[in-house]
Structure 1
Amino acid sequence: GVEFELIAIPGGEFLMGSPEDEADRLEDEGPRRKVKVSPFWMGKHEVTWDEYEPFMMTEVRREKHGGWTDFDPATHDAVDGVSQPTPPYTEMSFGMGQSGYPAVCMTQHAANKYCQWLSAQTGHFYRLPTEAEWEYACRAGTTSAYSFGDGDLDEHGWYYDNSNDKYQKVGTKKPNPWGLHDMHGNVSEWTADAFGEAYPVPDDGGVLINPWTVPERLYPRVVRGGSWFDDPDRLRSAARLGSSEDWKQQDPQLPKSLWYHTDASWVGFRVVRQLEIPTLEEMDAHWNSARGKR
């Protein structure tokens, strides 16, 4: 019964990455390259606890492994075949707030499985944005370090100096030019990509079309946008961060959880819905890109 809002993102081309003279630029943000993305819808803000907890805490029995591929409602008594997170071993909001606040501490696998579960509930295909889609949506047609140009960061994002050491309710800062809130700060956001060097420039110098660096290992994966815990430079449109096993240091379980990054209380995500319906193989590739990887 929870409602959420999507923003229509027009397809188009843009220069991905940061120019060499951008302040606080890191090497992994370049070289800049031309990228073309297809139209899609994107969450107006991060997925909140209101949206995430029905997946995370449901009392309906579901499998806890990586997901069923042979679910048959005639023979299985679970309501659906989308795997469910194991019960959290601590309160995952860490007292920072729940209703109206961004959900955090999930692994990329958990975020992928939420997208699969949400797709099952709605009948529409949802997934994480690719890194290219995320930056394209964040920039919203701009080429400056931030989507608001020379405006005031305090009006557009939550970061270390103004967040009171915690995340804040979603949508309370000004949106970017395309109506997306919290693209700069509040919580960093999972993308679908493996973290490595920036997308390669094509040999012919042409345009990359809907690129996706499909993960082959569990670490590192790309998060974007910066968070309440970061300095302003990490909130730039081109800033990138790779996930780490260190995000599970507090996890008391052996082996470590597939579902939680207890030390990453500044990581969340938002969903996208692409215009074209993908094949079943493409759906599976997105929803299960973190399963079985080490």
Structure 2
Amino acid sequence: MRLALLALTVGCISVGSQTFAFESVSSGYNSVESLELQLSDKEAEYSAFINTLNSLNEQFNAETEKLALLRSRGDELKKARALALLNMNEQYEALVDNPEQDIAQAQTAYRQAIQNQKQNKDDIKNTVSLITSLKKQLADANLQRFTLANAREALVEEIRISRVKRLQKEFDKQDQIQTSQSVACDAQETLKQCITRSNQLAKQKASKQFVDGLFADATESNKISQNKDNSAAQVRLLNHKVESGEFSGQGNYSTTVTVELQGSLPNAEACKLLELSTRYCTYDKEHAQIAPVNVDAGNTITLNDEGVMYELTIRSDQYDDEVFIDGVSYGSTKLSVMLSAGLHDIVITKPGYLDHQEQVRLNKNKTVKAELVKSAINFANGEPVQDILPGDELGPELIGVPSGRFQMGDLKGAGLSNEKPARGEEILRPFAIAQHQITVGDFKRFVKATNYVTEAESENGCAAFIDGKPAYNSVLNWRNPGFKQDDEHPVVCVSDNDAKAYLAWLTKQTDRTYRLPTEKEWEYVARAGSVDNYWWGSDIGNGRANCAYCGSKWSNVSTSPIKSFRPNRLGLYDTVGNVWELTNGEKVVARGGSWNFAPKLARTSVRLELAPGFRSNYVGFRVLREN
């Protein structure tokens, strides 16, 4: 065992003058035992809830099958009614030849056919109503399942933290040990040197006994003893007293020493002994520094004022284009400039469009009308893409993503049922996707341009966790999510309908097709080639993302500014944590985890199913551009 013996001194009743810095270990922590009881209760609650959810799913499936049978039966009853009507009409026609003929049976059969069809329609209506109600219950139940799962995972995290605190406290112990030591004095030693060596060995022996006792007395002794040989547990000698010492006739010296000792576990040592991630012992803050962008003043425009001048008017069918005349930018169309007579090179550009190039000979006033043609899209891997909005505002920062194949779903076999099965998928067409989640600043530009009112503002507010459950709060919305944000934070408290409204506006402003990514597209870019739980590996690590118990200053507190953590291999930020991201599909599903959800629920394959219109202060979105 690598034992750090600190401040062992030679001589009696003395402590070395060297100063040692120790991190204080808080004695306050939740009892591991009480947390384990809570976890057991939560596991039982979760298991019971899953049984209820399964029953709800079974009822939904049964009603869906029933509806299919009723509709099939409806087709049969429609035919039966038509047949009964035909039969009754034939009976009426037969009355002409035989007035005595009894048609009551045919009339009764027709009335019964009508009644049967009416009953079938009522049954269909009632079943559809029940299925609609069950859909709502299932959506709420799926959200509740994640709430329970998050509470369960939070307890798992708290237990690990408390285990660390408990072990640190158990090692942060002070004690006195009395030990005896005999040595054979060396012929080259003086008596004083022999006494000193005996006392020193006695103190070392006491220190080893002290450490052995710390390991033996620890609650998780069996666990940590397996890692004892590589332990860096520290022992500090506070004081010692020589109780007795004597020489024997054989040149031996025996001493009895009482030693006062203090133990401690430095930094991440408790995590190593317990075989836990070091994030439970220490937190390293990572802050991405965003360098300011210096904007060049541009070129000075100098016109050739020699000779005759003519007016050149330039128009195009696009706004926010840029006109270059003889290599000098004149801004966007429509514009009119006075130029000298002669040849002039005209280039009209706009991102995403082919350049319009034309040479004009000015010998009179002229007008150039250009029709810009969209360029073919071929998003190269990592190609930066950014549209310009009206007023020279910049759209979301995008990254080009190539087509490709990948493995999707629960690849490790430890996920929730809706993450299964694991399967191979293929992205057939390249696309561009936002580098980061849509920010408050991005959404603010949309609201300013359209006077849009979100569902949280017009209805009953935005959901936030209260007593471990999401509940709507009428004062919360994207402007006030319940914690401090600035324009660089991801927008939250927006529903899937709010996101679609933003995307429709963005599409109109750019003449490009913007939408939410599908789940397949989202997982493709979030994995960035990885088959692990997170794009960097199987463990959440410390300070790598903003999720509960993930070691950042925002964990369990609030959203973090975009680009606060390293991007993945495709250049995308926050595909793990910060806010859940809405996706495009038949169901409202969010991916990626958030600042207040446990690390296990920030795995790449986790799917959070939400009710339509749901909004909360932990759900946002990221945009995708198709063309």
TM class by smaller structure: 0.5 to 0.7
CA contact (8 A) 2:398 2:432 kept: yes
Residue type of the alignment partner of 1:97: Q
Unaligned runs of 5+ residues in structure 1 are: 62-82, 196-220, 246-257, 276-294
- For residue 4 of structure 1, report the CA deviation from its aligned partner: 2.7
Query: Which residue is equivalent to 2:409?
Result: 17
Are 1:240 and 2:612 counterparts?
no
Displacement of 1:150 in angstroms is: 4.6
Specify the code of the residue in structure 1 equivalent to 2:494: M
Pairing partner for 2:443 from 38, 49, 52: 52
**Structure 2 match to 1:88:** 457
DSSP-derived class of the 1:192 partner? coil
SS in 1 for 2:446: helix
* 1:188-231 Cα shifts (integer Å, max 9, x gaps): 00001234xxxxxxxxxxxxxxxxxxxxxxxxx10000000100
Distance 2:413 2:493 in 1: 34
- Give the counterpart of 1:43 among 419, 431, 434: 434
Deviation readout 1:223-265 (Å, 9 max, x if unpaired) = 00000010001111101101137xxxxxxxxxxxx6x72xx10
- Deviation string, structure 1 residues 71-118 (Cα, Å, up to 9, x no partner): xxxxxxxxxxxx764682634332320210000111111111111101
2-side partners of 1:185 and 1:20: how far apart?
20
Q: Which moved more, 1:92-101 or 1:227-236?
A: 92-101
Residue 229 of structure 1 is matched in structure 2 by: 596
In the alignment, structure 1 residue 188 sits paired with structure 2 residue 584: no
In the TM superposition, 1:141-160 aligns within 5 A as 141-150=529-538, 153-160=541-548
Task: Tell me which residue corresponds to 2:245.
Answer: none
Counterpart Cα distance in 2 of 1:87 and 1:231: 25
Distance 1:175 1:56 in 2: 28
SS in 2 for 1:194: coil
Distance in 2, Cα, partners of 1:151 & 1:233 = 9
- 3-state SS in 2 of match to 1:156: coil
Higher relative contact order (CA 8 A, sep 6+): 1
1:201-280 correspondence to structure 2 within 5 Å? 221-244=588-611, 261=615, 264-275=616-627
User: Residues of 2 paired with 1:57 and 1:98: CA distance?
Assistant: 16
Find the aligned partners of 1:32 and 1:152 in 2 and give their Cα distance: 21
Q: Give the superposition deviation at 1:53.
A: 1.3
Range 34-43 or range 129-138, more displaced = 34-43
- Provide Cα deviations, 1:49-78, integer angstroms capped at 9, x if missing partner: 1000122344x56xxxxxxxxxxxxxxxxx
Write the letter of the residue equivalent to 2:413. D
Rounded Cα–Cα distance in structure 1 between residues aligned with 2:626 and 2:517? 9
Q: Cα distance, 1:152 vs. partner?
A: 5.2
TM superposition score normalised by structure 2 = 0.32
Q: Distance in 2 between matches of 1:121 and 1:57?
A: 14
Tell me the equivalent position of 2:506.
118
Q: Is the 8 A contact 2:436 2:563 kept in 1?
A: yes
Give, as a single letter, the amino acid of the residue that structure 2 aligns with 1:139.
Answer: R
Is the Cα contact below 8 Å between 2:591 and 2:607 reproduced in 1?
yes
Match of 2:418 in 1: 28
Measure the CA separation in 1 of the matches of 2:489 and 2:515: 20
Q: Which amino acid aligns with 1:271?
A: V
Count of equivalent residues: 211
Of the candidates 159, 165, 177, which is equivalent to residue 557 of structure 2? 165
Find the aligned partners of 1:106 and 1:152 in 2 and give their Cα distance. 27
**Hey, which of these two has a bigger chunk of helix by percent?**
2
Amino acid at match of 1:266: Y
- Code of the residue aligned with 2:397 in structure 1: it is E
SS of the residue corresponding to residue 590 of structure 2 reads strand
Query: In the alignment, is the contact (CA less than 8 A) between 1:57 and 1:87 conserved in 2?
Result: no
When residues 135 and 86 of structure 1 are mapped into structure 2, their CA distance, relative to the original with a 3 A threshold, is closer
Secondary structure of the equivalent of 1:47? coil
Q: 1:29 to 1:2 in 2, by over 3 A?
A: same
Does the C-alpha gap of structure 1 residues 150 and 87 become closer, same or farther in structure 2, counting only changes over 3 Å?
Answer: closer
Give the Cα separation in 2 of the matches to 1:152 and 1:32.
21
Distance (Å, rounded) in 2 between the aligned partners of 1:30 and 1:2:
39
Distance 2:455 2:539 in 1: 43
Q: CA contact under 8 A between 2:456 and 2:493: conserved in structure 1?
A: no
User: Match of 1:268, as an amino acid?
Assistant: G
Query: What is the CA–CA distance in structure 2 between the aligned matches of 1:126 and 1:96, rounded to whole Å?
Result: 29
Q: Report SS of the residue matched to 2:584.
A: strand
Equivalent pair of 2:512/2:626 in contact (CA under 8 Å): no
Is contact 2:515–2:625 with CA below 8 Å preserved after alignment?
Answer: yes
| Counterpart in the other structure of 2:525 | 137
Q: Are 2:514 and 2:626, in contact at CA under 8 Å, matched by a contact in 1?
A: yes
CA 152–243 in structure 1, closer or farther in 2 if over 3 Å, else same: closer
Q: 1:106 aligns with which of 469, 487, 494?
A: 494
For residue 177 of structure 1, the aligned residue among 569, 584, 594 is 569
> 1:18 deviation in Å?
1.2
Distance 1:132 1:86 in 2: 27
* SS at 1:158 equivalent: coil
Q: What is the rounded CA distance, in whole Å, between the counterparts of 2:621 and 2:529 in structure 1?
A: 22
SS at match of 1:88: helix
Q: CA deviation at 1:15?
A: 1.3
Relative to structure 2, which stretch is displaced further, 161-170 or 148-157? 148-157
Aligned to 2:542, the other structure's residue is in SS state helix
Looking at structure 2, the residues matched to 151 and 186 of structure 1 have their Cα atoms a distance apart, in angstroms, of 17
Query: Secondary structure in 2 aligned to 1:41?
Result: strand
Shift of 1:274: 1.6
Are the counterparts in 2 of residues 44 and 179 from structure 1 also a CA contact under 8 Å?
yes
**In structure 1, C-alpha distance between the alignment counterparts of 2:456 and 2:598, rounded to whole Å:** 33
1:29 offset after TM fit, Å? 0.8
Q: Give 1:154 deviation, angstroms.
A: 3.2
How far off its partner does 1:33 sit? 1.5
Give ranges in structure 2 of 5+ residues lacking alignment. 1-392, 459-474
Kindly provide the CA deviation profile for residues 125-145 of structure 1, in whole angstroms up to 9, marking residues without a partner as x: 100000000000000111111
